[in-house]
Structure 1
Amino acid sequence: MKTVVKIFLLLTLFGTTINAQTDHLGNTISLPEHPRILLLKGEEDPIKQTIDSDKTWARLHAIILAECNELLDERPIERIQVGRRLLGKSREALRRIFFLSYAWRMTQQENYLRRAEQEMVAIAGFSDWNPSHFLDVGEMTMAMAIGYDWLYYGLAEQSRKAIQQAILQKGIEPSLDQKYNNWLKVSNNWNQVCNAGMLYGALAVFEEQPQLAKNIINRAIDAVALPMTEYSPDGAYPEGYSYWGYGTSFNVMLISALEKAFGNDFGLTAKPGFLKTAGYLENMTGPSGNSFNYSDAGNGGGLEPAMFWFAEKLKDPSLLWVERGHLMNDNARQFIKNRLLPATLLWSAGVTMSTMADPKTLMWTGGGKTPVALMRTSWSDPNAIFLGLKAGTPSASHAHMDVGSFVMEADGVRWAMDFGMQDYESLESKGVDLWNSRQGSQRWQVFRYNNFVHNTLTVNNELQKVNGKAALLSSSKKPGFMNAVTDLSTLYAGSLQQAVRGVALVEQAYVLVRDELETASTEATVRWTMLTPAEVKIVQKNKAELTKDGKKLILEVREPANAVLKTWTTDPPNPFDAPNPGTIRVGFEIQVPAQSQKALTVLLVPEKAAKRSKKNAEPLAKWPR
């Protein structure tokens, strides 16, 4: 009774906000019986047919069941907070409950149901789900909602009541408190994840609190439209690869749940750029299997269940080429870490490995807040050249001072690399003011986050300008000269009058990086840097030989003629920085006189193209468009 009264008071307090929402659900007074989230009663049969018809899908299904068998002997999760986060426990809860609930739905084996019930009852007994860091609540509520809904008729009545009350009290109720729900007004992954969790909770307990549930669902549909504007116009996700896997996956979980419960996505799928984002994610992975890990991202890629939803929506199995590789080659340990893994089978739509053909286009570009250009020589050749360029701004969510940075790989080696993120807790625990992105903030002292260690320019040993923005000026898919050009000028305001960078994949054989600079009223010191995991041997003043894994790459500075290559360490300069073993920076510094122009041209040539003749670089204005 206390919960109902408190929720009524909160609804009254925020009644003005709620009344301002669009009433998407109208006169909806009931939903399908349980199970109603993602997978209705009887919809297990098509999944079983998929498993029976393809050995790769059968293997994935078997991996999930094997992990559930391991979980049978695990103790339930305990409420152990790390720093300001309970998120690790929430994610493990979602993984366990989703896996075990899937196993129950597919096999009807009692032990899976009882183990999931044990987990949920323990979580229901937590003092709270840490609403001060609401991602924790969002994921925990989704976990509990899936288990409650999918196992509903098998749960003991006392357990069902405890879980239902926990979803209301510890999930939905704090989302009505303005102290905790600022995520409703942000355009990043928090909005997507938290709204998805709340919507799942509302769907699970709909019959118990129909008006509250309708309000929560209407709110989620309205609020999630805000981060979905970030995909416009082409699908490039501003927060980068890893956060695509977070924000977009939960956005898809939200839409998929709406479609299943109401037969309606309420216009969300049609948001500009959203369906195009599948092309972005697919093209962000190089032949080595590593992602273009700019901003706060990890280097390694992995299976993305949401891609199967996109492929079905667009009727384009070629979007699953990278996922096919994961399904066929990844080991079980990689799969079972993915808390949304069962959704892969839910969204598989009967597609077989043989229908996942390689894409037809070798280049993808996207504009928006964080423009990128991604190009390669082949999808099927593991030795193909891959080149990615990032534009954008350091002021974007989770961004680094990496504007103008690139990654490059050939012969299965990532020659030009990015460190990506450093673990947040490792910085926060040392008192680093990590989330203040103002120009002079401590965030930019973190070695992995500033431009000194990215594959871009540093001018006068200064940081890039946080408020600077770089758009893609032009691009071309011409096979002999795939290229993209971006204007970096505002990133170096006050030091340079103009800075324009172009990268090109030339004749399907080597990479060209060209910068055209113009100084302001004073001389400028410009450093060109490339971070690499290779061993670097400088063989001439303008030429270096990089070696790794028995492969070679030649880095050659074509202009200016007086450039002298050197290397810099990647040893951490601060006690809070993570170690960076096995890496080095290679590049050069030049002095550019005041009010003058200078071009920098660098070639990155795989060994097999070393004897091929190279043309002199044309000015960027003459590059194909």
Structure 2
Amino acid sequence: MLEEVIQGICNEVCWALPAHVNRENNDWEITIDLFASETAQSLSEIISLLNSELSKEIQNLVREQVYRRVLEPFYQSESPYADWERGTNNWCAVCAGSIGSAAIYLMNDNEDKLNTCLDRIVKALKWYMKGFPADGTCMEGLGYYTYGMTYFTGFAEQLFEYTHGKINLLAAKNCAEIAVFQQKCYFTGGITLSFSDGSSREKFRIGLTCYLASHFKEVEVPDLALAAGVLEDPCARWMGAYRDYSWTKKYMVEPLQVQAARKPFEILPDAQWAVFQSASGAVLAAKGGNNGEPHNHNDVGSFLYMKEGEMLLEDLGAGEYTKEYFGEGRYEILCNSSLGHNVPIVNNRFQKAGKQYTCDNFKGDGEGNILISYGKAYGDDSLDSLIRMIHFVPSSGVTRIEDRFWGNKNKLTATENLVTRYEPVINKNEILIRGRKASIRVQFEEYLEEIHFLPRIHTDHEGKEQRIWLIQWEVPVKDGYGGMVFYIK
């Protein structure tokens, strides 16, 4: 049965995802993308593991197709084969790691050719590592961290063994910080940080975690109930699934260091992320950054708020991946637009996309205070400055947010904008948001005459439509200055 499946894969016209193929090229069937690379790695490893149990015909077919579709096109091309070879995101790790893994399995009969290929792969993966700032944050989000690091570490182990320990990719200077990034993103109730194209319910790979924990003593393991099942990946990627078995078996020799009680304040200065957690389990995460990040959302200055394992003020994370999602219409989609984040609307405008639309000052003092200056994110000449100050109380989770606006005295307007998936209710001078288990109140220092609740539809990463509520109110502005203070309790 396995041989029939392998033969079917080898008979496919193209291994690349249709969206990644340029049909105008005469040789479009031979395109090395994420999926073609993953397929080459999977088949190469499977025939190597089951060498004595698979027919020679099937083994030869796999070698022929992996060489024809992936190894030879890559080896014979000038560097870079494509943008991903010098990319600083998950594409580089997945494609280069997969090709390197397949090469070690199938090119071992030509040592010179193999070593030339591996040298090029190692150079490519140095680009991937450059994508992590010194604090180890994956700017693409937690899910892409797991994706890229699975292929990076899978190849790293093979390379270490092939070179008898001479090349150790995990010796990179910031690899220890990268290894502990995962544990900073998991919270009570299984909720996770969903910045960029992330998810608030991300599962972790137990194999990858065991491997990293065996190499870096600082690595802690989230609640094992949050580990992905072996068949949970909808794309059925072999590299991660097999290492959930092999690495857990190999490296879980001693009891894993289960994630301890979190520090109340976690500042990631290079990424400009701050994560606060109270003794009662309330969590606030805020970010600065810029609007030209990998898998970017226009979300400079935004925050999210969780309580008792529920996200009550949202970061929606990834939407459904469509042509428009990665095209010119990306920022017309709610979850990618600043309208879909907890940031103000200024002069009836949203934030703009591009690295120049940025936070120009981000400070966290380790005592629950954050200052974010992000007026540049709007690209509006009539806005001189926008500063958000956040104070989080570690004992209770009560949060004070103050926004200050400076700009043209004749043009400046500002509207606060909060996002939730639960229908809000006005209760005197506060907004009540009730989740399934928890609830919060948004309170104001001054009485607001008018608050708008605007229903919207968000299409999530699985293509399911969800009702989202935007909570909006006008900020008092006079002579080019406006200010607003509200509390989350």
The alignment's TM-score, normalised by the length of structure 2, stands at: 0.86
Distance 1:187 1:497, change over 3 A: same
Asked if 2 retains the 8 angstrom alpha-carbon contact of 1:288 and 1:414, the reply is: no
Asked if 2 retains the 8 angstrom alpha-carbon contact of 1:406 and 1:455, the reply is: yes
From 354, 370, 373, give the equivalent of 1:487.
Answer: 373
Q: Alpha-carbon deviation of 1:193?
A: 0.7
Q: Alpha-carbon deviation of 1:415?
A: 0.7
Asked if 1 retains the 8 angstrom alpha-carbon contact of 2:412 and 2:480, the reply is: no
The residue aligned with 2:469 is: 584
The residue aligned with 2:326 is: 435
Is it true that 1:255 corresponds to 2:183 in the alignment? no
Once residues 369 and 391 of structure 2 are traced to their aligned partners in structure 1, the CA distance between those partners, rounded to angstroms, is: 4
Once residues 525 and 579 of structure 1 are traced to their aligned partners in structure 2, the CA distance between those partners, rounded to angstroms, is: 35
Is it true that 1:458 corresponds to 2:345 in the alignment? yes
Once residues 259 and 194 of structure 2 are traced to their aligned partners in structure 1, the CA distance between those partners, rounded to angstroms, is: 25
Runs (5+) with no aligned partner, structure 2: 17-29
From 315, 322, 336, give the equivalent of 1:418.
Answer: 315
Asked if 2 retains the 8 angstrom alpha-carbon contact of 1:472 and 1:484, the reply is: no
| Equivalences for residues 178-189 of structure 1 within 5 A | 181-189=82-90
The residue aligned with 1:445 is: 332
Asked if 1 retains the 8 angstrom alpha-carbon contact of 2:455 and 2:467, the reply is: no
Distance 1:504 1:253, change over 3 A: farther
Once residues 479 and 47 of structure 2 are traced to their aligned partners in structure 1, the CA distance between those partners, rounded to angstroms, is: 69
Asked if 1 retains the 8 angstrom alpha-carbon contact of 2:192 and 2:201, the reply is: yes
From 204, 210, 216, give the equivalent of 1:308.
Answer: 210
Q: Which structure has greater strand proportion? A: 2
Aligned Cα RMSD in Å?
Answer: 2.8
Once residues 525 and 456 of structure 1 are traced to their aligned partners in structure 2, the CA distance between those partners, rounded to angstroms, is: 14
Q: Alpha-carbon deviation of 1:521?
A: 5.3
Asked if 2 retains the 8 angstrom alpha-carbon contact of 1:184 and 1:191, the reply is: yes
The residue aligned with 1:622 is: none
| Equivalences for residues 424-573 of structure 1 within 5 A | 424-425=321-322, 428=323, 432=324, 434-436=325-327, 441-466=328-353, 467-470=356-359, 473-478=362-367, 482-493=368-379, 494-509=381-396, 510-520=398-408, 522-540=410-428, 542-558=429-445, 564-571=450-457
Q: Classify the secondary structure of the residue corresponding to 1:260.
A: helix
Matched residue type, 1:592: V
The superposition leaves residues 256-309 of structure 1 with CA deviations (integer Å, 9 ceiling, x where unpaired) of: 221232233735323343321233221212323122212222332112232222
Once residues 236 and 39 of structure 2 are traced to their aligned partners in structure 1, the CA distance between those partners, rounded to angstroms, is: 15
Once residues 333 and 215 of structure 1 are traced to their aligned partners in structure 2, the CA distance between those partners, rounded to angstroms, is: 35
Matched residue type, 1:491: A
Is it true that 1:150 corresponds to 2:49 in the alignment? yes
Q: Alpha-carbon deviation of 1:249?
A: 2.1
The residue aligned with 1:294 is: 195
From 581, 588, 601, give the equivalent of 2:485.
Answer: 601
Percent identical among aligned pairs is 17
The residue aligned with 2:105 is: 204
Distance 1:357 1:118, change over 3 A: same
Distance 1:192 1:333, change over 3 A: closer
Larger-Rg structure = 1
Q: Alpha-carbon deviation of 1:235?
A: 0.6
Which deviates more, 391-400 or 117-126? Answer: 117-126
Matched residue type, 1:516: R
Once residues 300 and 109 of structure 2 are traced to their aligned partners in structure 1, the CA distance between those partners, rounded to angstroms, is: 50
The superposition leaves residues 570-599 of structure 1 with CA deviations (integer Å, 9 ceiling, x where unpaired) of: 147x9xx97753431123122523443x33
Asked if 2 retains the 8 angstrom alpha-carbon contact of 1:279 and 1:364, the reply is: no
Distance 1:220 1:335, change over 3 A: closer
Once residues 361 and 246 of structure 2 are traced to their aligned partners in structure 1, the CA distance between those partners, rounded to angstroms, is: 38
The superposition leaves residues 75-103 of structure 1 with CA deviations (integer Å, 9 ceiling, x where unpaired) of: xxxxxxxxxxxxxxxxxxxxxxxxxxxxx
The residue aligned with 2:126 is: 225
Asked if 1 retains the 8 angstrom alpha-carbon contact of 2:221 and 2:257, the reply is: no
Once residues 410 and 170 of structure 2 are traced to their aligned partners in structure 1, the CA distance between those partners, rounded to angstroms, is: 51
Once residues 43 and 172 of structure 2 are traced to their aligned partners in structure 1, the CA distance between those partners, rounded to angstroms, is: 29
Asked if 2 retains the 8 angstrom alpha-carbon contact of 1:387 and 1:408, the reply is: yes
From 122, 141, 158, give the equivalent of 2:40.
Answer: 141
Asked if 1 retains the 8 angstrom alpha-carbon contact of 2:477 and 2:483, the reply is: no
The superposition leaves residues 375-403 of structure 1 with CA deviations (integer Å, 9 ceiling, x where unpaired) of: 2125xxxx611111122122112111111
Q: Classify the secondary structure of the residue corresponding to 2:326.
A: coil
Q: Classify the secondary structure of the residue corresponding to 2:281.
A: coil
The residue aligned with 1:364 is: 266
Asked if 2 retains the 8 angstrom alpha-carbon contact of 1:116 and 1:147, the reply is: no
Q: Alpha-carbon deviation of 1:471?
A: 5.6
The residue aligned with 1:621 is: none
The residue aligned with 1:159 is: 58
Asked if 1 retains the 8 angstrom alpha-carbon contact of 2:276 and 2:283, the reply is: yes
The residue aligned with 1:39 is: none
Once residues 548 and 360 of structure 1 are traced to their aligned partners in structure 2, the CA distance between those partners, rounded to angstroms, is: 24
Asked if 1 retains the 8 angstrom alpha-carbon contact of 2:307 and 2:439, the reply is: no
Once residues 320 and 32 of structure 2 are traced to their aligned partners in structure 1, the CA distance between those partners, rounded to angstroms, is: 17
Distance 1:460 1:288, change over 3 A: farther
Q: Alpha-carbon deviation of 1:250?
A: 1.7
Paired residue total: 463
Asked if 1 retains the 8 angstrom alpha-carbon contact of 2:298 and 2:351, the reply is: yes
Distance 1:522 1:263, change over 3 A: farther
The residue aligned with 2:24 is: none
Matched residue type, 1:135: L
Once residues 395 and 140 of structure 1 are traced to their aligned partners in structure 2, the CA distance between those partners, rounded to angstroms, is: 31
Distance 1:387 1:338, change over 3 A: farther
Q: Classify the secondary structure of the residue corresponding to 2:131.
A: helix
Once residues 278 and 334 of structure 2 are traced to their aligned partners in structure 1, the CA distance between those partners, rounded to angstroms, is: 32
Q: Which structure has greater helix proportion? A: 1
Is it true that 1:241 corresponds to 2:130 in the alignment? no
The superposition leaves residues 77-136 of structure 1 with CA deviations (integer Å, 9 ceiling, x where unpaired) of: xxxxxxxxxxxxxxxxxxxxxxxxxxxxxxxxxxxxxx4443323322333323446112
Distance 1:411 1:326, change over 3 A: closer
Distance 1:143 1:450, change over 3 A: same
Q: Classify the secondary structure of the residue corresponding to 1:501.
A: strand
Q: Alpha-carbon deviation of 1:221?
A: 0.3
Q: Classify the secondary structure of the residue corresponding to 1:220.
A: helix
Once residues 166 and 371 of structure 2 are traced to their aligned partners in structure 1, the CA distance between those partners, rounded to angstroms, is: 37
Once residues 271 and 450 of structure 1 are traced to their aligned partners in structure 2, the CA distance between those partners, rounded to angstroms, is: 35
Distance 1:362 1:116, change over 3 A: farther
From 10, 14, 36, give the equivalent of 1:128.
Answer: 14
Asked if 2 retains the 8 angstrom alpha-carbon contact of 1:233 and 1:366, the reply is: no
Which deviates more, 136-145 or 512-521? Answer: 512-521
Distance 1:544 1:135, change over 3 A: same
The alignment's TM-score, normalised by the length of structure 1, stands at: 0.68
Distance 1:406 1:263, change over 3 A: farther
Runs (5+) with no aligned partner, structure 1: 1-114, 606-625
Q: Alpha-carbon deviation of 1:359?
A: 4.6
